[in-house]
Structure 1
Amino acid sequence: MSNETKRDVFEAVWNRLAGYQVFFNGWPRETLYDYKKRYDTALPDDLPTIPLAVSEEIKGSHDSLSLRDELESVDSTSDDFSVVDYIENSESVFAEAWSRGMWRVEETGEVTGYDRK
């Protein structure tokens, strides 16, 4: 899997095309196919962005709890008040990250998820 977003691939194509007077004139067909492959494997642009501590909470809980259980029990299971506060105040973003299984970490910009421990 790639860490590129759809927007990253679009910008790469745009920057490449910007150097040509006539779009696609003389541009090797293979290069177009390479960009198409990159676009197809790129991550969505609209991944939810959550704090690192919340990311760690999801990674630590998703195998043993359902989303409902996590939302109901976070105040009694988490020692980090910032995690509890975030989940209580940004429940929809938290639920989206949990449900999609992939998100962007606010502090680092890293894209991560359940399978990227």
Structure 2
Amino acid sequence: MSGIERSTNYDMERYQYLSEYDSALPDDLPVIPEAQSDWIKQCKANDYSLSFALSDEITPIEVAKTFRVLGGYTDKNKDKWLKLQNTFARAWLLGVWRVEETGEIVKLEVEK
């Protein structure tokens, strides 16, 4: 192989690798309960906002239980409460997460 052929071959392999790398899922996917996964899918399908999805008054019972598992927000459980909400919000924003109970990876496709 001449230098030009090797260079072209290297560039094509590099391009293919970078394309695959860009489309790969992150290693640190948020892990959320199945009820939260279903709730995100329902809210996204109806074009609801993140603040609506996090509101205790309107979430389904299963999701509300998940958020209330800590007994609601108190100074004592502030860190755990925020982590629970932050993980939900990360899953919402990324559009991809792992379901805690099943290990299933859910990736919401952007509608065109």
Give me the whole-angstrom Cα distance separating, in 2, the residues matched to 1:75 and 1:55: 18
Would you say the 8 A contact 1:103–1:112 is kept in 2?
yes
Task: Give the equivalent residue in structure 2 for 1:70.
Answer: 53
- Cα deviation, 1:74-102, whole Å, max 9, x if unaligned, reads 4434132xx11323541111111111111
- What TM-score comes out, normalization by structure 2 length? 0.59
- What TM-score comes out, normalization by structure 1 length? 0.57
Task: Give the equivalent residue in structure 1 for 2:26.
Answer: 44
User: Aligned to 1:76, what secondary structure does the other structure show?
Assistant: coil
Structure 2 unaligned blocks of 5 or more: 1-9, 69-80
Largest Rg, 1 or 2? 2
Would you say the 8 A contact 1:87–1:94 is kept in 2?
no
Moved over 6 A (4+): 29-34
Does residue 104 in structure 1 map to residue 87 in structure 2?
Answer: no
Identity among equivalent positions (%) equals 41
Number of residue equivalences: 86
Give me the whole-angstrom Cα distance separating, in 2, the residues matched to 1:55 and 1:104: 9
Select 1:85's aligned residue among 65, 78, 94: 65
Aligned-CA RMSD value: 2.6
